[in-house]
C-alpha cells in the first residue's frame, strides 16, 4: 500500500473489533443525550412558538459541542500518539521496528496516522450532529466547516507533540506526563506572549488570537466580533500555522529517530552483552578465514573502523558498595528509597512547577483581584485537575510498565502479600508525585493566609483534594489490574478521570446557564446522569463486577451533581460531606477488592494451578 505498511495494518485491523463500532455509536449517542439535556435545561417542557428561541438554543448547543470536542481532541490526540510509541518501547518491540527495512519517514508518519485514526473517525462521525445544529438556526455552514477544520488541525498538531515526546522518552509515564504538561505550557506560553507583546501579529491577527485554538473557536462562534483589517480569517490562519508546525515536528522526529532510540530502551547490561557476543563472532570468523582480526565493534554492534590485534578480556572487579537493608514492605522501600522511576522525572516536576508559577502569575495579573470572588477557584481548579491527571497517569503506568517488561511476573512468584504490593504501589505513586500533591495544598493555605479563602473553605479544599489524590492513584492501579493490555488500561484510566471532570464542568455550565428550580434541573439532567452512571460502571466494573462498584457507578454522578448544586447555592458543608462520602466509598470499593482478590486479578492463582 502506498501509505506504508503501518498505516495499512491499522486500517485493516482497527475496524475488526466490535468495540470500535460501539465506541462510535456511544460517542454520537452521548452527544444526543447532551442535546436533550441542554434543551430541557434551557427550554424545558414549554411550548415554543418563536423562531428566535430555537435559534438561540442552536447557537448555545453548537458552542457547547465545539468546546467539548476541541477539549477532547486536545487531550486524547496527543496522548494516543505518545502511548502508541511508549507502549511498544515498554514491550521491547519498537527496536524490532527500527531493524526492519522501513524508512524513517514511514515509521514516524505511520505511527502518527495509526494513533490518530480512531480519533479522526470520531471527529467525522460527529460531523452530522454538528450539521443538525444548522437546522435549528443561529449557525452557518461556514462556521461548522471552520470548527471541524480547526479541531482537526489542533488534533494533528497535538498528535505530533505526543509523537515527539514518545520517541524522545523511554518510559510511559514520562511520555504521558510531559505530553500533558507541554500542551498546558504551550497554550499558556501563547497567552503570555500575547499579553507581553500585544503588537505581535500574524496576518493582521494578534498572536494569541491566531494560535490559541480556544480563542479561534470563540472567534468562529462570534463572527461579528472579528475586527477589520485582517488578511485572512483566524480559522484559516490557525489551520495553516498548525499544519506547518506539524510538518516541522514530523521532520524533527525523522531526524532524531535513530539518534534517540537505538539501544536506549534496552538495559545497559544487555547492550554490553550483545556487543561482546558480536565481537566474539567476529574473532571466530577471522580465525576461520585465516585473516587478521577485522574492525572492532562497539557496544551496539557497529564497526569502529579500527584494525587492532586481538586483546585479552580481563574481568574487572570492583569493591561492593554499602548494603542497604529494605523495609518490611520492600515495594514501598523501592518506590521511596530508590530511583525506581529513573532520574528523568525531574523534567516532569520542573514543567509542573512552571505551570504552577504561570497559574500564580495569572492570579496576580489582575490588579482588581477583590472584584472577582471566583478568581481563586479559576486558579486552583485547573492546577488541581492537572495534578489529578498526572497522579492518575503515574498510578496506571506504575503497573503497566512492570507488566510489559516482565518484572510483574517475577513479583508474582515472591512471597509478597497483597497488602504490601497494593499499599506500596499506592503510596509510592503519591510520593513520586508529591509535588503535584503538595503545591495545590500549599496554594490553598496561602489563600487562607491572605484571606482570599476562609478557613472553613480552605480546610474543605485540602481534605477533598487529599482524598481525590488517593482516588486518582487508586483508579490508575485499579485500571492496570483490570486490563492486561497497557494501552487499554491507560486509555480507560485517564479517560475515566478526564470525563468525570468534564461531566462536572458541563453540569455546572448548564446549571449556571438556566434559571430553573432544583426539581426541574434534576429532571432535565436525569438521562445525562444515568448515561454517566452506565459509562462509569463499564469503566470500573465491566471486567470485575461487584456490588460496591455498581453502587459507586450509580451514586457518583448523582452525588457529584448534588455537590455542584450545593456549591452554586453556597452550601459548602453539604458539598464537602457528600464529596467525601462518595469518593471515599469509591476509593474503598477499588482498594478492598484489589487487596482481597489480588491473586485472582493478576492471575497468580491460575499460574500456580498450571
3-state DSSP: the chain helix, strand, coil percent, rounded to 5?
A: 75, 0, 20
Quote the pLDDT of residue 275. 47
Read off the pLDDT of each residue in 442-465 and give the average, rounded to a whole number. Answer: 93
- Residue (of 529, 558, 548, 530) closest to 597 by Cα position: 548
pLDDT at residue 370 greater than cutoff 80? no
The more confident residue out of 296 and 393 is 393
pLDDT at residue 39 greater than cutoff 50? yes
**Which segment, 244-248, 418-422, 570-574, is predicted with the most confidence on average?**
244-248
pLDDT at residue 292 greater than cutoff 70? no
Read off the pLDDT of each residue in 544-555 and give the average, rounded to a whole number. Answer: 84
Binned at pLDDT 50, 70 and 90, residue 374 comes out as: confident
pLDDT at residue 459 greater than cutoff 90? yes
d(C-alpha 549, C-alpha 545), whole Å? 7
Read off the pLDDT of each residue in 115-124 and give the average, rounded to a whole number. Answer: 90
Four-CA torsion 502, 508, 513, 517, nearest 10 degrees: 140
Binned at pLDDT 50, 70 and 90, residue 472 comes out as: very high
HEC letters along 514-535: CCCCHHHHHHHCHHHHHHHHHH
What is the per-residue pLDDT across 571-580, written as a single tens digit (0 to 9) for each? 888 889 999 9
Read off the pLDDT of each residue in 37-58 and give the average, rounded to a whole number. Answer: 74
**Which segment, 18-32, 278-292, 401-415, 472-486, is predicted with the most confidence on average?**
472-486
Q: Cell numbers 455537590 correspond to what residue?
A: 563
Segment among 63-72, 171-180, 185-194, 536-545 with least mean pLDDT: 536-545
Read off the pLDDT of each residue in 439-463 and give the average, rounded to a whole number. Answer: 93
In degrees and rounded to multiples of 5, residue 571 shows phi and psi of: -90, 80
Binned at pLDDT 50, 70 and 90, residue 353 comes out as: very high
Quote the pLDDT of residue 227. 55
**Which segment, 181-190, 336-345, 567-576, is predicted with the most confidence on average?**
181-190
What is the per-residue pLDDT across 256-281, written as a single tens digit (0 to 9) for each? 998 888 654 444 444 444 444 444 44
Residue 518: Cβ-neighbour burial (10 angstroms; 0-12, 13-18, 19+) = exposed
The more confident residue out of 509 and 427 is 427
Binned at pLDDT 50, 70 and 90, residue 601 comes out as: low
pLDDT at residue 610 greater than cutoff 50? no
Quote the pLDDT of residue 51. 66
Amino acid at each position: 500500500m502506498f501509505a506504508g505498511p503501518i498505516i495499512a495494518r491499522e486500517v485493516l485491523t482497527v475496524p475488526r473489533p466490535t468495540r470500535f463500532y460501539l465506541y462510535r455509536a456511544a460517542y454520537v449517542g452521548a452527544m444526543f443525550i447532551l442535546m436533550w439535556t441542554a434543551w430541557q435545561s434551557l427550554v424545558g417542557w414549554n411550548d415554543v412558538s418563536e423562531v428566535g428561541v430555537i435559534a438561540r438554543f442552536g447557537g448555545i448547543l453548537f458552542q457547547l459541542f465545539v468546546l467539548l470536542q476541541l477539549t477532547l481532541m486536545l487531550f486524547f490526540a496527543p496522548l494516543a500518539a505518545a502511548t502508541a510509541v511508549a507502549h511498544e518501547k515498554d514491550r521491547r518491540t519498537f527496536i524490532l521496528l527500527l531493524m526492519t527495512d522501513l524508512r524513517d519517514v514511514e515509521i514516524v508518519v505511520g505511527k502518527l496516522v495509526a494513533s490518530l485514526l480512531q480519533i479522526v473517525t470520531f471527529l467525522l462521525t460527529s460531523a452530522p450532529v454538528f450539521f443538525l445544529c444548522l437546522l435549528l438556526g443561529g449557525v452557518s455552514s461556514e462556521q461548522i466547516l471552520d470548527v471541524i477544520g480547526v479541531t482537526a488541525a489542533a488534533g494533528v498538531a497535538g498528535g505530533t507533540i505526543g509523537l515527539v515526546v514518545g520517541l524522545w522518552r523511554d518510559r510511559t509515564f514520562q511520555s504521558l506526563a510531559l505530553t500533558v504538561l507541554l500542551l498546558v505550557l504551550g497554550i499558556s506560553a501563547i497567552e503570555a506572549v500575547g499579553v507581553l507583546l500585544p503588537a505581535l501579529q500574524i496576518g493582521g491577527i494578534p498572536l494569541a488570537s491566531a494560535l490559541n485554538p480556544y480563542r479561534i473557536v470563540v472567534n468562529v462562534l462570534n463572527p461579528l466580533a472579528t475586527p477589520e483589517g485582517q488578511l485572512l480569517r483566524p480559522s484559516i490562519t490557525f489551520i495553516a500555522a498548525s499544519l506547518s508546525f506539524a510538518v516541522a515536528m514530523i521532520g524533527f522526529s525523522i531526524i532524531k529517530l535513530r539518534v534517540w532510540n537505538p539501544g536506549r530502551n534496552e538495559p545497559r547490561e544487555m547492550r554490553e552483552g550483545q556487543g561482546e557476543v558480536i565481537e566474539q563472532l567476529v574473532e571466530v570468523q577471522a580465525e576461520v578465514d585465516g585473516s587478521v582480526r577485522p574492525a572492532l565493534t562497539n557496544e551496539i554492534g557497529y564497526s569502529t573502523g579500527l584494525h587492532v590485534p586481538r586483546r585479552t578480556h580481563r574481568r574487572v572487579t570492583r569493591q561492593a558498595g554499602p548494603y542497604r537493608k529494605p523495609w518490611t514492605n520492600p515495594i514501598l522501600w523501592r518506590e521511596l528509597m530508590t530511583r525506581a522511576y529513573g532520574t528523568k522525572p525531574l523534567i516532569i516536576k520542573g514543567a509542573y512547577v512552571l505551570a504552577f508559577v504561570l497559574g500564580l502569575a495569572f492570579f496576580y495579573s489582575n490588579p482588581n483581584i477583590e472584584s472577582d470572588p471566583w478568581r481563586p477557584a479559576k486558579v486552583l481548579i485547573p492546577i488541581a485537575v492537572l495534578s489529578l491527571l498526572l497522579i492518575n497517569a503515574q498510578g496506571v503506568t506504575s503497573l503497566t510498565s512492570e507488566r510489559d517488561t516482565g518484572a510483574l511476573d517475577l513479583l508474582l512468584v515472591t512471597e509478597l502479600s497483597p497488602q504490601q504490593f497494593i499499599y506500596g504501589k499506592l503510596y509510592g505513586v503519591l510520593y513520586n508525585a508529591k509535588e503535584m500533591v503538595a503545591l495545590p495544598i500549599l496554594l490553598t493555605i496561602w489563600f487562607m493566609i491572605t484571606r482570599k479563602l476562609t478557613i472553613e473553605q480552605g480546610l474543605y479544599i485540602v481534605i477533598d483534594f487529599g482524598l481525590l489524590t488517593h482516588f486518582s492513584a487508586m483508579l490508575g492501579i485499579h485500571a492496570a489490574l483490570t486490563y492486561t493490555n497497557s494501552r487499554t488500561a491507560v486509555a480507560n484510566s485517564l479517560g475515566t478521570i478526564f470525563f468525570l471532570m468534564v461531566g462536572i464542568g458541563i453540569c455546572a455550565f448548564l446549571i449556571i446557564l438556566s434559571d430553573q428550580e432544583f426539581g426541574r434541573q434534576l429532571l432535565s439532567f436525569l438521562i445525562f446522569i444515568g448515561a454517566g452512571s452506565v459509562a462509569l460502571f463499564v469503566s470500573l466494573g465491566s471486567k470485575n463486577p461487584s456490588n460496591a462498584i455498581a453502587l459507586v457507578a450509580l451514586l457518583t454522578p448523582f452525588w457529584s451533581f448534588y455537590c455542584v448544586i450545593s456549591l452554586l447555592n453556597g452550601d459548602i458543608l453539604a458539598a464537602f460531606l457528600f464529596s467525601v462520602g462518595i469518593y471515599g466509598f469509591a476509593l474503598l470499593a477499588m482498594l478492598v477488592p484489589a487487596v482481597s482478590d489480588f491473586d485472582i486479578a493478576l492471575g497468580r492463582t491460575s499460574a500456580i494451578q498450571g
